[in-house]
Structures are given as C-alpha cells and as structure tokens.
Amino acid sequence: MRKTFIVLAVAALSCLGTSAFAQRYNGGLIDKIVAVVGGEMVSLADIESEVQMMRAQGMASDRNMRCEILEQMLESKLFLMQARIDSLSISSDMVENQLNSRIDQYRSYFGGEEGLEEYFGKPLYRLREEWRQQLEDMSLTQQEQSNIAETVPEMTPYDVKQYLDTVDVNRLPVVPIKYQMSQICIYPDREAAALAVKERLLALRERIINGEKFATLARMYSEDPGSARRGGELGMVSKSVYWPAFSDAAMALRPGTISQIVETPDGFHIIEVLEKKGDMFNARHILLKPQYTQEDQDKAFKTLDSLRTEIMNKAVTFELAARFYSEDPATRTNGGQMSDPNTGSSYFEIDQLKPQDYAAISDLEVGDISVPIASRDNEGLNQDREGNLVFKIIRLDKILPAHTATFENDFTDLAAQVRYEKQMKVIDKFIDGKIDETYIVLDPMFKDCEFNRSGWASKFREE
C-alpha cells in the first residue's frame, strides 16, 4: 500500500533552502530547474537539500533516492496548486510557532546563529523567509490532502461486511495479543527523598562557593550522564529547550554565579551560567535525583503483600482495595483498572507495557495477582523520561489472544482499515487526474527514474 497520504507533504516540503552540499552532476552542474508543475517549480537544490536531511538521519543516498524525492515533490506540487485554487487559508500563528521551533532547534544544534548561518551559507533573515514559505506551503498541502481524504465517509457495518466478503484473508490485519489489567500502587516517601537530595545539593553549592570547581564536582556527582563528563556543561542552546523552571533560573543568573536549588521533572539542579546571548545560554549544572532506600521498598512491599493476601482470601475485593489504598489517582477511582493515557483503551499490547509490568504478568493466569514489584508511572511518558518510581501489585483481568481481525471482535480496527484504503484510492485518483490535466515539464536528466506513476513518463522535455 503506497503511503501517499500526508507523508509525502512532509517529505517533499521539508527542504531547508539551497544546500551547501549540493551534489555536482555531470559536467559540474550544481543547480537548475528540473520540473515545472503548473506555476510551481522544483530545482536540483531542492532535491539535494532533502537528500542532506535524509543523510543526517542515517539513510544512504543514491540515484533511486533522488528519483523518489522528485516524485514526492511533484505530487506535493499538485496538492499545493489545488489548495491555492480552493483558497485554503494558513494559520499565521501556527506557522510562526513552527518556524521559531525549527530555528531554535538548529541554533541549539549549531551552537548559535553564527554556526547556523555558516552551515546553510545564508543569513538568518534569508533562512526565515525561505523556511516560512516552505511551512506555509506544507500547511496548504496537508490541508488539501486532508480535505480530499475526508470526502470518504465513516464506514458502516455494511461497508465492513462487504469488505470482508471480497478481500483476500491475507490482507486482513492481525490483531496482536492484548492484556487488560488492574493495579494497586504505593509511592515511596517522596518528601523525605526530596529533602535528602536538597541537603546534598546545598552541601555541593557550599563547596563551590568556597572555591572548589563546579566542573569537577559535576563530573563526580551529577546524575545527568550526557553533561557530567563535560563538567556539567550543556552548550549554547535556546532557553526553549529546557523546562521553564530551569530556563527561568538560568536566564536570571549573572555569568559566574550559582543558582539556588531548582526543581524540574528531571530532579533537582544547581546551575552556573557561563554565557548568555539573547534568548540562548550556555550553562553548567549538577543534577541529583531523589533516591529511595531499601526500607522504602520493604515498607511498600509489606503493605502490598498484605493487601494481596486479603484479596486472595476474599476478605476484600481488588476494586475496593484499590479505591482505599492505591496512590495512583488515574486508576484508583475506577477500581484500579489501567488504561492507555494516549488512547484511553483498557487493552495493552506487549510493546505498550512497561518492562517491569510485563515481567510481572507474563506468567500469570487470568484473575491472578502478581507479587509486589517496583515499576514506573506515566509522568514522563511524553517527555522521553522513565517516570517516577512506584511499587505495585497487578491483577491480570483478561487476555485477548493474537488473531486475524473479525467483524464481531474488531469492528473498529477493520472500519479504520477499510476507510484508509478508500482514502488512498481517492488520493491516487486525484493525483493521476491532475497529472493528466496539468502542464508539467520534467528535465530529461531524470528520464531513467522508475517512478511509481506511469503518467510522469509523457512529461519529459525533449532533449
């Protein structure tokens, strides 16, 4: 199945202006217009910019890659032209937010505006203009694709049954094994652990003020492995990269001064600012995280083990115990039943489970309750963090074995697949129709490309 929908807009319109590393083609050629699509154009520099981005992601570049990129760009131009005809509007605020985010990322990566401008070979104001136009085009293209796809209505039971009657069974989705679970959670004494880590940081701050080097202590004690080996130094980056509390504290410091203790979701910090430039700064920090003792675990495990025994002896139900004793606000109100915070589903595939949780239930039968375990909560789910330490027992409520999707059990999944396939057909029909009716001229230097769509073959300029 060709994933034309939405993906091609991102791939084709994410070019970053003329690349400083453009490939030299035969005869020393660096740049020229290689495609005209109505009133839109594609240049070699556009293609090479996309190649550079893909190389940065570890993909090998070759002639086939350039052919694929060109075809994606051509298709995107067709959507862009139609978006202009349909007078679609652009959210200026959204574009500006995306633009500022992109610039912040590149300034941080290249160590400031000077490094960014040197890499791209252009002043920042020129890059802003080019990237703003690209983001506006991307917005229009994605809107047009969505509008075309949305002409396909939601699928009815009749649509799904008709699909099942005609489709090859090998094309039906395989639903992986899923688990439904409930939990009772107890957190360690976070207040006591936070107090202990603050006392350690205050002692380190005092040592620095008394003359010891911040960098030396950061190497010895900081629990941020990425910066500790550099003496705690983070590098010149935009303040938007960090948690607001961290950035606010750093921006308020004079270079060479040491902050008070700063708390973020990552832990507790002391900060030394080395340099500030506009909304960017370079700082050192020492990060310490709350540490929990074996006594914390033993205490929680003893409580959880007692609850497990009471539940197994039918002295209390799991649901009632969860409501009274669990310290997880997301699950205790519904008797401990776990649900995916992103989808709201009460069923989990294996790769959606935390390793500790899966290890606890992997050998259980339905209705069994695990022994107490140490795991992590969902606080860091969307920040690439592992979450906070939590102790829990888990009951395995139900197992849905892996199976080929059926109308009775998987209507929602099947309806989504049927609609998606219909949307792909509508998108393909739009593109093929636009190729036939649009003025398109392609440079013969790409004539050997094996495009997915046969319609491009008649669009090459004669040599």
pLDDT in tens, 394-439: 999 999 999 999 998 889 889 999 999 999 999 999 999 999 999 9
DSSP for 312-328, written as a single string = HTTSS-HHHHHHHH---
Report domain 191-288's class.
alpha beta
| pLDDT higher than 50, residue 142 | yes
Considering only residues 155 and 52, tell me which one the structure prediction assigns the higher pLDDT.
Answer: 155
Q: Of the given ranges (178-182, 349-353, 375-379, 453-457), which has the lowest mean pLDDT?
A: 375-379
Distance between the two ends of the chain, CA-based, in angstroms?
35
Helix (H, G, I), strand (E, B) or coil at 291: coil
Grouping H, G, I as helix, E, B as strand and the rest as coil, residue 205 is helix
> pLDDT grade, residue 348 (50/70/90)?
very high
Average pLDDT over residues 80-98: 91
- For the chain, what is the largest distance between any 2 Cα atoms, rounded to a whole number of angstroms? 87
Among 347, 306, 341, smallest CA distance to 325 is for 306
Domain limits, CATH 3.10.50.40, in the chain: 178-189+292-401, 191-288
* pTM recorded for the entire structure: 0.66
Chain segment 21-75, per-residue pLDDT in tens:
344 455 555 678 999 999 899 998 888 877 766 765 566 655 588 899 999 999 9
Given a cut of 80, whether residue 102 has pLDDT beyond it is yes
Query: What is the amino acid identity at position 423?
Result: Q
Burial 118-157 (b: 16+ CB within 10 A, else e): eebebeeeebbebbbebbbbbbbbbbbbeebbeebeebee
Look at residue 133 and tell me whether its pLDDT is greater than 70. Answer: yes
Report, as an integer, the average pLDDT of 76-103.
90
Q: Where are the alpha helices (DSSP H) in 293-410?
A: 294-312, 318-325, 329-332, 355-361
What b/e readout covers 280-313, taking b as 16+ CB neighbours within 10 angstroms? bbbbbbbbbebebeeebbeebbebbeebbeebee
H or E element in which residue 284 lies: strand 280-288
Asked whether residue 360 carries a pLDDT value surpassing 50, the answer given is yes
Q: Are 22 and 16 in contact (CB under 8 A)?
A: no
Each residue's pLDDT tens digit, 293-326: 899 999 999 999 999 999 999 999 999 999 999 9
Confidence at 169, pLDDT banded by 50, 70, 90 = confident
More confident residue, 344 or 444: 444
Average pLDDT, the chain: 87
C-alpha 65/C-alpha 70 separation (Å) is 9
pLDDT, tens digit, 9 for 90 and up, residues 220-252: 999 998 899 999 999 888 888 899 999 999 999
The CATH fold assigned to 178-189+292-401 is Chitinase A; domain 3 (3.10.50)
| CATH placement of domain 7-154+418-459 | 1.10.4030
Alpha carbon distance 79, 85 (integer Å):
10
By CB neighbour count within 10 A (0-12 exposed, 13-18 middle, 19+ buried), where does 324 fall? Answer: exposed
3-state DSSP assignment of residue 242: coil
Dist. CA 370–CA 359, nearest whole Å: 10
Taking Cα atoms as reference points, which of 300, 389, 378, 366 lies closest to residue 338? 378
Give yes or no for residue 110 having a pLDDT over 90: no
Nearest to 6 by CA among 93, 97, 92, 76: 76
Please list the residue range(s) of the chain that carry CATH number 1.10.4030: 7-154+418-459
Structure confidence at residue 7 (pLDDT)? 37
Phi-psi region of 270 (alpha: psi -120 to 50; beta: other; left: phi over 0): beta
Query: What's the pLDDT score for residue 412?
Result: 86
User: What pLDDT score does 85 carry?
Assistant: 92
Among 173, 145, 72, 152, smallest CA distance to 420 is for 152
d(CA 401, CA 344): 20
Query: Which pLDDT belongs to residue 62?
Result: 58
Grade residue 9 by pLDDT with cuts at 50, 70 and 90: very low
Please choose, from the candidates 390, 394, 393, the residue with its C-alpha nearest in 3D space to the C-alpha of residue 190: 390
